[in-house]
């Protein structure tokens, strides 16, 4: 653990919220996140901290509380579970686990800033806690996918490792696990946000070396020994997105499953996190529907130049196309071509051209390109004709296709 002696605030939060491996049916029942938030608000109003509840006059203080469902006797019974806390801390310590509470200085700021009251009251973890503050690319997807999607996921992981971009994922079988193992095998770093069985995962041979080398951190907001629970799996999805700078949905079912619900939640509630989705002619219905709901098309291969810059450009281009205003991403502001990146498109063609150029890093015919961008083929033909005349796109024959004249990162039109 980070420190075998937990700060008083963290001790109090654990006493109030942790189940210490017991069934949720056992009395007194630990506080839910919503109940803890209500108590935390009351403590603030009283100019108190959680640690104040550990003091001898706690009973007197708690008798003043008048919040629905927060019976003073229940709170006092939870606070008095000191022996259980000591045994649990000893057990976690022996397994190499650490614990941070929401009031702890080492609690990841990204979770508090982006989720506010939805940030978990407690985080259990193993590995390098500093990785929780490094952002990165969240990579999520279905459990049951074919080899083509797994190979694509590995390529994303390898490219991220080369760029020094971390991957955050859920460690579930399929895309999530492939992304985590892929970046670890390529020498990069990763954060796994688990919904269950943190203790087992911490000693899994797949992850052990990454943990020991400080390149992998596994966390969970649920008891380290908790088994799988669908509700927990759904609940942890927002933490994956909140710890990232960008997110990629490799594959999703439509209208069901954790990948779908997590992406929909992120699109509606975490507006500051650009959510990308893999869009190809063979993309799943779930991917296409997420695109319709606001997910951005992930830049197609090959990824020339800086991967981080490509993602920054693609996210800002997509946002600007929606509002018809192109802005300069912060990541590119210091670029030598920054003065070229501040212009505003004068028409729809200028706004859409960056999208076309991103997709034409590999040759594509007009019909395929029109399908990718969801426009009429006749309209795409007009845009391609103009782009060819301007020298930004080159037409090739046998078969007829189009390709961008320059790598995407060198194009001043990508704003």
The DSSP annotation for 208-269 comes to HHHHHTT-EEEEESS-TT----HHHHHHTHHHHHHT-SEEEEEE--SS-SHHHHHHHHHHHH
Q: At what angle do helices 8-17 and 33-45 cross, to 10 degrees?
A: 140
- Is the distance from CB of 258 to CB of 237 less than 8 angstroms? yes
In what helix (H) or strand (E) does residue 125 lie, and over which residues does it extend?
strand 122-127
Higher pLDDT, 272 or 69: 272
CATH architecture observed for domain 307-410: Orthogonal Bundle (1.10)
**What whole-number distance in Å separates Cα of residue 392 and Cα of residue 408?**
11
User: 129-296 with 307-410: one CATH topology?
Assistant: no
The domain spans of the chain are 1-94, 129-296, 307-410
- Please check whether residue 283 is in contact with residue 295, taking contact to mean a CB–CB distance below 8 angstroms: no
CA atoms within a 13 Å half-sphere pointing along the CA-CB vector of 42: 19
> How much is the pLDDT for 344?
46
Residue 406, pLDDT score: 65
Distance (Å, whole) CA 99 – CA 125 = 6
Ramachandran quadrant class, 374 (left: phi over 0; alpha: psi -120 to 50; beta: rest): left
As a whole number, mean pLDDT of residues 34-62 equals 93
Q: Provide the CATH number for the domain formed by 129-296 in this structure.
A: 3.40.50.450
For residues 323 and 311, give the distance between their C-alpha atoms in angstroms, rounded to a whole number: 19
Query: Quick one: average pLDDT of 268-276?
Result: 94
Q: Mind listing the pLDDT tens digit for each residue in 238-262?
A: 999 999 999 999 999 999 999 999 9
Tokens of 278: 């893999």
In this predicted structure, the answer to whether residue 37 has a pLDDT above a threshold of 90 is yes
Which helix (H) or strand (E) segment holds residue 138: the answer is: strand 137-141
pLDDT at residue 327 tops 60: no
């Amino acid at each position: 653990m980070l420190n075998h002696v937990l700060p008083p605030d963290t001790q109090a939060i654990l006493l109030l919220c942790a189940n210490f491996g017991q069934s949720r049916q056992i009395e007194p029942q630990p506080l839910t996140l919503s109940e803890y938030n209500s108590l935390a608000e009351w403590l603030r109003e009283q100019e108190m901290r959680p640690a104040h509840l550990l003091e001898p006059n706690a009973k007197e203080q708690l008798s003043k509380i008048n919040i629905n469902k927060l019976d003073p006797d229940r709170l006092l019974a939870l606070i008095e579970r000191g022996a259980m806390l000591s045994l649990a801390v000893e057990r976690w310590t022996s397994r190499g686990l650490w614990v941070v509470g929401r009031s702890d200085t080492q609690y990841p700021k990204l979770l508090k800033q982006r989720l506010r009251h939805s940030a978990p009251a407690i985080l259990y973890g193993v590995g390098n806690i500093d990785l929780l503050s490094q952002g990165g690319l969240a990579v999520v997807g279905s459990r049951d996918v074919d080899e083509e999607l797994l190979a694509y996921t590995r390529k994303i992981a390898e490219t991220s490792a080369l760029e020094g971009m971390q991957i955050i994922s859920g460690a579930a079988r399929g895309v999530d696990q492939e992304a985590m193992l892929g970046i670890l095998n390529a020498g990069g770093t990763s954060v796994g946000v688990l919904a269950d069985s943190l203790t087992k995962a911490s000693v899994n041979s797949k992850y052990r070396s990454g943990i020991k080398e400080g390149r992998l951190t596994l966390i969970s907001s649920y008891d380290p020994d908790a088994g799988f629970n669908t509700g927990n799996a759904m609940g942890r999805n927002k933490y994956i997105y909140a710890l990232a700078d960008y997110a990629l949905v490799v594959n999703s079912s439509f209208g069901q499953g954790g990948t779908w619900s997590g992406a929909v939640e992120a699109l509606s509630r975490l507006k500051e996190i650009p959510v990308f989705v893999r869009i190809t002619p063979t993309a799943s219905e779930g991917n296409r529907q997420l695109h319709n709901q606001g997910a951005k098309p992930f830049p197609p291969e090959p990824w020339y130049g800086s991967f981080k810059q490509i993602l920054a450009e693609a996210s800002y281009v997509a946002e600007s196309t929606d509002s018809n205003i192109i802005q300069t991403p912060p990541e590119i502001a210091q670029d030598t071509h920054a003065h070229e990146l501040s212009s505003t498109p004068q028409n729809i063609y200028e706004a859409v051209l960056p999208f076309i150029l991103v997709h034409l890093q590999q040759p594509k015919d007009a019909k395929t390109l029109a399908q990718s961008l969801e426009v009429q083929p006749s309209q795409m033909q007009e845009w391609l004709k103009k782009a060819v005349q301007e020298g930004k796109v080159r037409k090739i024959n046998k078969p007829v296709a189009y390709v961008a004249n320059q790598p995407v990162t060198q194009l001043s039109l990508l704003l």
